[in-house]
Chain A
């Protein structure tokens, strides 16, 4: 599986936008970029995914670099409930099985 690199931790103030980066320089043309997050004491939950174009949903936006070697998860207005570990994961278009998690980015949100 292609590898992703994320900062260990980030901090944000409540009500401000947060940009969580992910590098995936060895991404293949058939890899989707997925983001999951894990709130304290809970299982991970899906956030968003994309292939080439930027994506928006009710939770977040995903901005994908033109060369696809990096992406950024954008939380438009962070709240205390967004404090979690965010995982950037690559998934091959031809397989729909396991998720390969790294150590993710721990996001702290403060008042």
Chain B
């Protein structure tokens, strides 16, 4: 299977704990995106990388959130001192980075975070 993979698929944690999620994009894709989705809402953009460079961060990405993409391959999203409001599905997507507004994004299955 050469699609986008995310691990873990589910994470339950207690408030105040740190969590880290991993995303493995499609191998030839330059761009990698993180989105967050809460129940009944569409996904909301968090951040994206062009290779290893983080090019845009949403205002939703508070100081407790950090994302990395070392060597331009897999990416990790870490949430420090989790809060109950962080409970959501965290989606990763990757794309070739084509210009012209035609760049198709391929999404992973997501990591569902529950903060107790």
Q: Which residues of A contact B (CB under 8 A)?
A: 30-32, 41-46, 49, 85, 87, 91-104
Contacts and interface: CB of A to CB of B under 8 A. Distances in A.
Contact of A46 (B48, B56, B99, B105): B105
A94 B99 CA distance: 7
A99 B101 contact: no
Main secondary structure of the interface of A (DSSP, over half): loop
B42 A45 contact: no
Interface residues of B, number: 31
Question: Max chain A CB contacts within 10 Å: which of B31, B40, B42, B45?
Answer: B42
Nearest to B40: A103
8 contacts: A42-B110, A45-B107, A46-B104, A94-B101, A95-B101, A96-B97, A96-B99, A103-B40
Contact of B101 (A41, A44, A92): A92
Nearest to B4: A43
Interface string B24-58: 00000001010100001111110010000001101
Contacts of B103: 96
A93 B58 CA distance: 21
B48 A44 contact: no
A94 B44 CA distance: 21
A93 B98 CA distance: 10
A98 B101 CA distance: 10
Given A43-B108, A43-B109, A99 B45 contact: yes
B85 interface: no
Nearest to B50: A97
A32 B98 CA distance: 13
Contacts of B43: 44, 99, 101
Contact of B42 (A30, A41, A103): A103
Question: Max chain A CB contacts within 10 Å: which of B40, B45, B98, B105?
Answer: B105
